[in-house]
Structure 1
């Protein structure tokens, strides 16, 4: 098997005359589930799956239906643990030996894949994100894992961090080189262990090296989304991610940079792109500097020349030629 594979399952891709049966057969083969739609004629289901040697991610959107993992299908399942993260709508899950659990956004359900059970998706559309991890990977957090198995729980900050990073990986999986995808998979493992152990990033940093890298990736993504905001500051970002400013500084120091230098370089790059884009030729240099987050034009000009070897005016003049 290749190191990384992506698979898509869409009910709408099958011939309408045999759509439900063909879709059920495909899902049983790939997901080890038996789907029964509430309304066969109007049934809709789409699932994207990312497969790595030690991680499976999935995003499913389904109209009202039941998905049954029979004894036979469960017997063929790998010894994985699946975390279900409802994004929209809700579902009812019951596995052998467990209670009937109602799951909605803001919750997780931890599913031992080898245990038979049934899930009922409610309403016109339910979106769920899934992460499947080999049980052996989670062995260091067996106590926390056993407490959640076949059960639902509210999302903690640690589980939210796990969910956001795993979803980012899922979205980019088709573009990542296999070696980098495998590194990211190890980060997901580390974040799952952190969440299961109920510890903060400070407490597990020495044990799970990927936690720091994963947290910094999310922080950089948040910075990128708020690059032009006047609120962007170490204190504001640290507060949004539930960490101290000191810890934030240590995250950037681990990559031989600082929060201020990272923000400055990202803003400079945003300005460079606009100044070299003919579509923005009508905008003044000062307006572009303000738009990307710089409040001091003299400092912007100096930093721009220092990083790119020419002034904003010189770049614009070259672009106009």
Structure 2
């Protein structure tokens, strides 16, 4: 499956429901030779288990793999497919071993590396979850100098560029953005830009106006807010400092999505409060305790916001739930 696929294609393969005797030949033939164009060698003493999910659009392929240990070998015969893309392989978590151009590299949780699909390579999946993506070589050569020198060199996962790239990738996969035709081209372009920045180990990106960086920083900020919204002290200043940007830049990022920092924060807190109020054991908690638990320090303010958002008071919502039960 090539990176120039015109439309969105999704492919899933699992050995879960296959008889043990046909798992290996089915995996090798249908997934190995027909989908990823590689020979596969199982390495475990236990019966083969494999779950793989592949998505492909023009300019991008993604692959998620989990199962028993195995080796993928892209041999000289496999190169006849003409795939000239650059693969970026992540371990999150787990371990993998890669070989290409006479170099052997072991990846552990959080590590990533780039390989060339146009040259023989071996990827040994040991355990955990392995994720990979492939982008056209031409797209990266337009964005980064001396691409060949960056192959088989571990990507620094502590760099800001790699962190932003990882956050953005998780965000678009979770939102299934590749399935939306109107978003697809923008998302793929952003990924090309962010891969290039990560491969080149770009220094601190600062408050860049580049579209890909803005999108990745926006997703990183939302990710941080979603994790920490229950902290009553969470503020624009706190989030900006943790993201290495100014409060003003963060406010511009938030405004670009049509909502302010305060609106986003309040919505997360109110949705969490609604869930707590309507759970089966909700009557055990005082409303004031729920307000404090979701991050509001002023119960009266919480009550006003809640009524405005849901059309009823917290007490009214709780009573309605009890009556419904």
Bin for the TM-score computed over the shorter chain: 0.7 to 0.9
Which 10-residue stretch deviates more, 271-280 or 157-166?
271-280
Partner of 1:89: 94
What's the secondary structure of 2:73's corresponding residue? strand
- Out of 68, 71, 76, which is 2:76 matched to? 71
Check if 1:180 corresponds to 2:186.
no
Partner of 1:51: 56
- Out of 255, 267, 278, which is 2:269 matched to? 267
- Contact kept, 8 Å, 2:7 with 2:58, in 1: the verdict is yes
Deviations, residues 194-236 of structure 1 (Å, cap 9, x unaligned): 3234144436x33x31321232123213322222123533343
Partner of 1:190: 193
What's the secondary structure of 1:290's corresponding residue? helix
Structure 2: gaps of 5 or more residues: none
Q: 1:271 to 1:210 in 2, by over 3 A?
A: same
Q: 1:263 to 1:171 in 2, by over 3 A?
A: closer
Which 10-residue stretch deviates more, 58-67 or 47-56?
58-67
Partner of 1:232: 234
Partner of 1:296: 298
Q: 1:182 to 1:13 in 2, by over 3 A?
A: farther
Q: 1:20 to 1:252 in 2, by over 3 A?
A: same
What's the RMSD between the two structures over aligned residues? 2.9
Partner of 1:250: 252
Distance 1:277 1:106 in 2: 36
- Contact kept, 8 Å, 2:251 with 2:260, in 1: the verdict is yes
Tell me the CA shift for residue 159 of structure 1: 1.2
Residues 125-136 of structure 1 aligned to structure 2 (within 5 Å): 125-136=127-138
Tell me the CA shift for residue 315 of structure 1: 4.3
Tell me the CA shift for residue 263 of structure 1: 0.7
Tell me the CA shift for residue 316 of structure 1: 4.4
Residues 92-171 of structure 1 aligned to structure 2 (within 5 Å): 92-95=97-100, 97-122=101-126, 125-143=127-145, 145-155=147-157, 156-171=159-174
What's the secondary structure of 1:218's corresponding residue? helix
What's the secondary structure of 1:215's corresponding residue? helix
Distance 2:178 2:189 in 1: 18
Partner of 2:223: 221
